Amino acid sequence: MSGPRSHQAVLVDAHVHIHPAFDARVLLDAAAENGRREAAMLRPGADPLVVLLLAETPGVDEFVGLRDAATAGERVGAWRFSETSEASSLVASRDGGTARLVVVAGRQTPTAEGLEVLALGTLRRFSTGAPLEEAVREALASGALTVLPWGFGKWWGRRGALVERVLTSAEGRRIFLGDNGGRTRAAGRPALFDVAERLGTGVLPGTDPFPFASQARKAARFGFALEGPADLDRPMGWLRHRLEESPAPFRSYGALESPAAFVMLQLAMQLHKRRNGHSR
Protein backbone atom coordinates (compact mmCIF):
# COMPACT_ATOMS: atom_id res chain seq x y z
CA MET A 1 0.00 0.00 0.00
CA SER A 2 1.08 3.54 -0.66
CA GLY A 3 1.43 6.21 1.99
CA PRO A 4 -0.47 9.50 2.18
CA ARG A 5 -2.58 10.37 -0.82
CA SER A 6 -3.92 13.83 -1.60
CA HIS A 7 -7.64 13.73 -0.99
CA GLN A 8 -9.08 17.19 -0.51
CA ALA A 9 -11.99 16.02 1.63
CA VAL A 10 -12.27 13.00 3.92
CA LEU A 11 -15.90 12.21 4.72
CA VAL A 12 -16.41 9.93 7.72
CA ASP A 13 -19.64 8.06 8.44
CA ALA A 14 -19.04 7.12 12.07
CA HIS A 15 -21.92 4.68 12.55
CA VAL A 16 -22.36 2.12 9.77
CA HIS A 17 -24.24 -1.17 9.85
CA ILE A 18 -24.32 -3.79 7.10
CA HIS A 19 -27.59 -5.38 8.16
CA PRO A 20 -28.63 -8.86 6.91
CA ALA A 21 -31.23 -7.21 4.65
CA PHE A 22 -28.56 -5.07 2.98
CA ASP A 23 -26.83 -5.74 -0.32
CA ALA A 24 -23.19 -4.79 0.31
CA ARG A 25 -22.79 -3.80 -3.34
CA VAL A 26 -25.63 -1.31 -3.01
CA LEU A 27 -24.16 0.10 0.20
CA LEU A 28 -20.69 0.58 -1.28
CA ASP A 29 -22.00 2.21 -4.46
CA ALA A 30 -24.27 4.48 -2.41
CA ALA A 31 -21.42 5.48 -0.09
CA ALA A 32 -19.30 6.54 -3.06
CA GLU A 33 -22.12 8.52 -4.67
CA ASN A 34 -23.27 10.15 -1.43
CA GLY A 35 -19.68 11.04 -0.61
CA ARG A 36 -19.14 12.60 -4.02
CA ARG A 37 -22.31 14.66 -3.70
CA GLU A 38 -21.66 15.80 -0.14
CA ALA A 39 -18.03 16.70 -0.92
CA ALA A 40 -19.18 18.79 -3.87
CA MET A 41 -21.40 20.80 -1.54
CA LEU A 42 -18.66 21.20 1.06
CA ARG A 43 -15.96 22.07 -1.45
CA PRO A 44 -16.72 22.16 -5.19
CA GLY A 45 -14.23 20.10 -7.16
CA ALA A 46 -13.09 18.14 -4.11
CA ASP A 47 -11.74 14.62 -4.54
CA PRO A 48 -13.50 12.76 -1.71
CA LEU A 49 -12.34 9.80 0.33
CA VAL A 50 -15.20 8.14 2.20
CA VAL A 51 -14.47 6.34 5.47
CA LEU A 52 -17.08 3.90 6.80
CA LEU A 53 -16.73 3.03 10.49
CA LEU A 54 -18.59 -0.22 11.08
CA ALA A 55 -20.46 -0.77 14.34
CA GLU A 56 -21.35 -4.44 14.04
CA THR A 57 -23.84 -5.96 16.44
CA PRO A 58 -23.26 -9.29 18.22
CA GLY A 59 -23.24 -12.18 15.78
CA VAL A 60 -22.56 -10.01 12.70
CA ASP A 61 -19.14 -10.24 11.02
CA GLU A 62 -19.40 -8.49 7.67
CA PHE A 63 -15.92 -6.99 8.02
CA VAL A 64 -14.39 -10.46 8.23
CA GLY A 65 -16.20 -11.37 5.00
CA LEU A 66 -14.80 -8.29 3.27
CA ARG A 67 -11.31 -9.07 4.56
CA ASP A 68 -11.62 -12.63 3.24
CA ALA A 69 -12.62 -11.20 -0.14
CA ALA A 70 -9.49 -9.03 -0.06
CA THR A 71 -7.28 -12.03 0.73
CA ALA A 72 -8.86 -14.11 -2.04
CA GLY A 73 -8.75 -11.30 -4.59
CA GLU A 74 -12.53 -11.44 -4.97
CA ARG A 75 -14.72 -8.48 -5.86
CA VAL A 76 -17.86 -7.28 -4.13
CA GLY A 77 -19.80 -5.98 -7.09
CA ALA A 78 -17.46 -3.52 -8.82
CA TRP A 79 -15.31 -3.16 -5.70
CA ARG A 80 -11.95 -4.76 -4.99
CA PHE A 81 -10.64 -4.72 -1.41
CA SER A 82 -7.02 -4.35 -0.33
CA GLU A 83 -5.53 -4.90 3.11
CA THR A 84 -3.66 -2.13 4.91
CA SER A 85 -1.01 -2.21 7.63
CA GLU A 86 -3.88 -2.25 10.13
CA ALA A 87 -5.80 -5.44 10.86
CA SER A 88 -8.96 -3.39 11.37
CA SER A 89 -9.07 -1.47 8.07
CA LEU A 90 -9.48 -2.14 4.35
CA VAL A 91 -9.32 0.06 1.27
CA ALA A 92 -11.90 -0.53 -1.47
CA SER A 93 -11.34 0.60 -5.06
CA ARG A 94 -14.03 0.57 -7.72
CA ASP A 95 -13.31 -0.76 -11.20
CA GLY A 96 -11.92 2.02 -13.34
CA GLY A 97 -10.38 3.78 -10.34
CA THR A 98 -13.30 6.19 -10.11
CA ALA A 99 -13.77 5.97 -6.35
CA ARG A 100 -12.10 4.77 -3.16
CA LEU A 101 -13.54 3.90 0.22
CA VAL A 102 -12.03 2.92 3.55
CA VAL A 103 -13.92 0.37 5.65
CA VAL A 104 -12.99 0.06 9.34
CA ALA A 105 -14.01 -2.73 11.71
CA GLY A 106 -15.88 -1.99 14.91
CA ARG A 107 -18.53 -3.19 17.35
CA GLN A 108 -21.81 -1.99 18.83
CA THR A 109 -22.41 -3.56 22.23
CA PRO A 110 -25.73 -3.38 24.12
CA THR A 111 -25.57 -2.59 27.83
CA ALA A 112 -27.67 -3.65 30.80
CA GLU A 113 -29.49 -0.30 30.72
CA GLY A 114 -30.56 -0.62 27.08
CA LEU A 115 -27.87 1.77 25.86
CA GLU A 116 -25.08 1.05 23.37
CA VAL A 117 -21.32 1.46 23.34
CA LEU A 118 -19.48 1.70 20.02
CA ALA A 119 -15.90 0.43 19.87
CA LEU A 120 -14.56 1.63 16.51
CA GLY A 121 -11.34 0.46 14.91
CA THR A 122 -11.12 -2.96 16.54
CA LEU A 123 -11.76 -6.62 15.73
CA ARG A 124 -12.24 -7.51 19.37
CA ARG A 125 -15.54 -8.97 20.58
CA PHE A 126 -17.11 -7.60 23.75
CA SER A 127 -19.38 -9.03 26.42
CA THR A 128 -23.01 -7.97 26.05
CA GLY A 129 -25.38 -6.82 28.75
CA ALA A 130 -22.75 -5.33 31.06
CA PRO A 131 -23.48 -2.08 32.93
CA LEU A 132 -22.63 1.00 30.88
CA GLU A 133 -19.60 2.01 32.93
CA GLU A 134 -18.11 -1.48 32.68
CA ALA A 135 -18.78 -1.64 28.92
CA VAL A 136 -17.08 1.73 28.44
CA ARG A 137 -14.02 0.63 30.41
CA GLU A 138 -13.78 -2.54 28.32
CA ALA A 139 -13.98 -0.57 25.07
CA LEU A 140 -11.37 1.94 26.21
CA ALA A 141 -9.04 -0.83 27.38
CA SER A 142 -9.16 -2.36 23.89
CA GLY A 143 -7.75 0.83 22.41
CA ALA A 144 -10.87 1.38 20.32
CA LEU A 145 -12.37 4.76 19.55
CA THR A 146 -15.18 4.71 22.13
CA VAL A 147 -18.53 6.33 21.36
CA LEU A 148 -21.86 6.56 23.20
CA PRO A 149 -24.44 6.94 20.40
CA TRP A 150 -27.65 8.92 20.67
CA GLY A 151 -30.87 6.92 20.37
CA PHE A 152 -34.47 8.10 20.46
CA GLY A 153 -35.61 8.23 24.08
CA LYS A 154 -32.41 6.65 25.38
CA TRP A 155 -30.94 9.78 26.92
CA TRP A 156 -34.00 10.74 28.94
CA GLY A 157 -34.30 10.46 32.72
CA ARG A 158 -31.99 8.08 34.57
CA ARG A 159 -30.22 6.88 31.46
CA GLY A 160 -29.43 10.42 30.37
CA ALA A 161 -28.03 11.15 33.82
CA LEU A 162 -25.91 8.01 33.60
CA VAL A 163 -24.48 9.01 30.21
CA GLU A 164 -23.64 12.45 31.60
CA ARG A 165 -21.95 10.89 34.63
CA VAL A 166 -19.77 8.71 32.40
CA LEU A 167 -19.00 11.64 30.11
CA THR A 168 -17.89 13.87 33.00
CA SER A 169 -15.89 11.14 34.75
CA ALA A 170 -12.10 10.91 34.77
CA GLU A 171 -12.29 8.77 31.62
CA GLY A 172 -14.77 11.09 29.91
CA ARG A 173 -12.19 12.94 27.84
CA ARG A 174 -11.50 9.70 25.99
CA ILE A 175 -15.17 9.19 25.10
CA PHE A 176 -17.12 10.65 22.20
CA LEU A 177 -20.86 10.98 21.81
CA GLY A 178 -22.51 9.88 18.58
CA ASP A 179 -25.15 11.64 16.52
CA ASN A 180 -27.06 9.93 13.73
CA GLY A 181 -28.95 10.87 10.61
CA GLY A 182 -32.11 9.20 11.88
CA ARG A 183 -32.63 11.97 14.42
CA THR A 184 -35.26 14.56 13.53
CA ARG A 185 -34.33 18.22 13.33
CA ALA A 186 -37.69 19.09 14.93
CA ALA A 187 -36.61 17.67 18.31
CA GLY A 188 -33.71 20.06 18.78
CA ARG A 189 -30.11 19.27 19.62
CA PRO A 190 -29.49 16.95 22.60
CA ALA A 191 -28.05 18.92 25.53
CA LEU A 192 -25.37 16.27 26.11
CA PHE A 193 -23.78 17.20 22.78
CA ASP A 194 -22.96 20.61 24.23
CA VAL A 195 -21.50 18.93 27.32
CA ALA A 196 -19.21 16.77 25.18
CA GLU A 197 -17.99 19.74 23.17
CA ARG A 198 -17.32 21.80 26.31
CA LEU A 199 -15.22 18.92 27.62
CA GLY A 200 -13.22 18.96 24.40
CA THR A 201 -14.15 15.50 23.10
CA GLY A 202 -17.07 16.08 20.79
CA VAL A 203 -19.75 14.40 18.73
CA LEU A 204 -19.12 11.96 15.88
CA PRO A 205 -22.04 11.82 13.41
CA GLY A 206 -22.97 8.79 11.34
CA THR A 207 -25.96 7.34 9.54
CA ASP A 208 -26.90 4.46 11.92
CA PRO A 209 -29.28 2.90 9.36
CA PHE A 210 -32.36 0.90 10.23
CA PRO A 211 -32.39 -2.81 9.23
CA PHE A 212 -34.46 -2.32 6.07
CA ALA A 213 -33.00 -2.99 2.61
CA SER A 214 -33.64 0.56 1.38
CA GLN A 215 -31.53 1.97 4.22
CA ALA A 216 -28.34 0.59 2.62
CA ARG A 217 -28.48 3.64 0.35
CA LYS A 218 -27.94 5.96 3.33
CA ALA A 219 -24.26 5.08 3.72
CA ALA A 220 -22.08 8.22 3.97
CA ARG A 221 -25.11 10.50 3.72
CA PHE A 222 -24.49 11.85 7.24
CA GLY A 223 -21.17 12.25 9.03
CA PHE A 224 -18.26 14.62 9.52
CA ALA A 225 -15.55 16.01 7.27
CA LEU A 226 -11.81 16.34 7.74
CA GLU A 227 -9.09 17.79 5.57
CA GLY A 228 -6.84 15.28 3.81
CA PRO A 229 -4.57 13.85 2.72
CA ALA A 230 -5.36 10.60 4.52
CA ASP A 231 -2.84 7.84 5.07
CA LEU A 232 -4.29 4.89 3.16
CA ASP A 233 -1.76 2.52 4.71
CA ARG A 234 -2.92 3.33 8.26
CA PRO A 235 -6.28 5.08 7.81
CA MET A 236 -7.62 4.42 11.30
CA GLY A 237 -4.39 5.59 12.89
CA TRP A 238 -4.57 8.74 10.77
CA LEU A 239 -8.18 9.31 11.82
CA ARG A 240 -7.38 8.89 15.52
CA HIS A 241 -4.55 11.41 15.20
CA ARG A 242 -6.78 13.93 13.45
CA LEU A 243 -9.51 13.59 16.08
CA GLU A 244 -6.96 14.10 18.85
CA GLU A 245 -5.50 17.23 17.28
CA SER A 246 -8.74 18.74 15.94
CA PRO A 247 -10.74 20.76 18.47
CA ALA A 248 -14.44 19.94 18.78
CA PRO A 249 -16.94 20.58 17.28
CA PHE A 250 -16.14 18.66 14.13
CA ARG A 251 -17.49 19.79 10.78
CA SER A 252 -20.61 17.73 10.19
CA TYR A 253 -22.43 17.24 6.91
CA GLY A 254 -25.76 15.83 5.76
CA ALA A 255 -29.37 16.41 6.74
CA LEU A 256 -31.46 15.04 9.60
CA GLU A 257 -34.82 13.37 9.00
CA SER A 258 -37.99 15.38 8.56
CA PRO A 259 -40.57 14.91 11.35
CA ALA A 260 -42.81 12.81 9.06
CA ALA A 261 -39.98 10.51 7.95
CA PHE A 262 -38.77 10.18 11.54
CA VAL A 263 -42.20 9.05 12.76
CA MET A 264 -42.60 6.58 9.89
CA LEU A 265 -39.20 5.03 10.54
CA GLN A 266 -39.84 4.73 14.27
CA LEU A 267 -43.17 2.99 13.63
CA ALA A 268 -41.57 0.66 11.08
CA MET A 269 -38.85 -0.18 13.59
CA GLN A 270 -41.36 -1.03 16.30
CA LEU A 271 -43.15 -3.40 13.90
CA HIS A 272 -39.82 -4.95 12.97
CA LYS A 273 -38.99 -5.56 16.63
CA ARG A 274 -42.34 -7.24 17.28
CA ARG A 275 -42.02 -9.50 14.25
CA ASN A 276 -38.47 -10.52 15.06
CA GLY A 277 -38.74 -10.66 18.83
CA HIS A 278 -35.63 -8.60 19.52
CA SER A 279 -34.49 -5.02 19.84
CA ARG A 280 -32.43 -3.01 17.41
Q: What is the pLDDT of residue 225?
A: 95
pLDDT band at 45 (very low <50, low <70, confident <90, very high): confident
Report the chain's mean pLDDT, rounded to a whole number. Answer: 92
**Residue-range definition of the domain harbouring residue 264:** 4-276
pLDDT at 187 over 50: yes
Domain count, the chain: 1
Mean pLDDT along residues 239-263: 89
132-141 helix and 157-167 helix, angle to the nearest 10 degrees: 30
Question: What would the mean pLDDT of 265-280 be, rounded to a whole number?
Answer: 77
What is the Cα–Cα distance from 21 to 232, expressed in whole angstroms? 30
> What CATH number is associated with residue 217?
3.20.20.140
Pairing of strands 175-180, 203-206: parallel
Q: Tell me the per-residue pLDDT of 70-90, one tens digit each, with 9 for 90 and over.
A: 999 999 999 999 999 999 999
**Stretch 126-132: mean pLDDT, rounded?**
96
Closest by Cα among 151, 206, 185 to 260: 185
Least confident of 93-97, 167-171, 259-263, 272-276: 272-276
pLDDT in tens, 5-39: 444 799 999 999 999 999 999 999 999 999 999 99
Query: What pLDDT sits at residue 6?
Result: 46
Q: Is the pLDDT of residue 206 over 70?
A: yes
∠ Cα 112 243 164 (to 5°): 35
**What confidence score (pLDDT) does residue 278 get?**
60
Average the pLDDT over 106-119 and give the result: 98
Higher pLDDT, 84 or 41: 84
Residue 171: Cβ within 10 Å count: 14
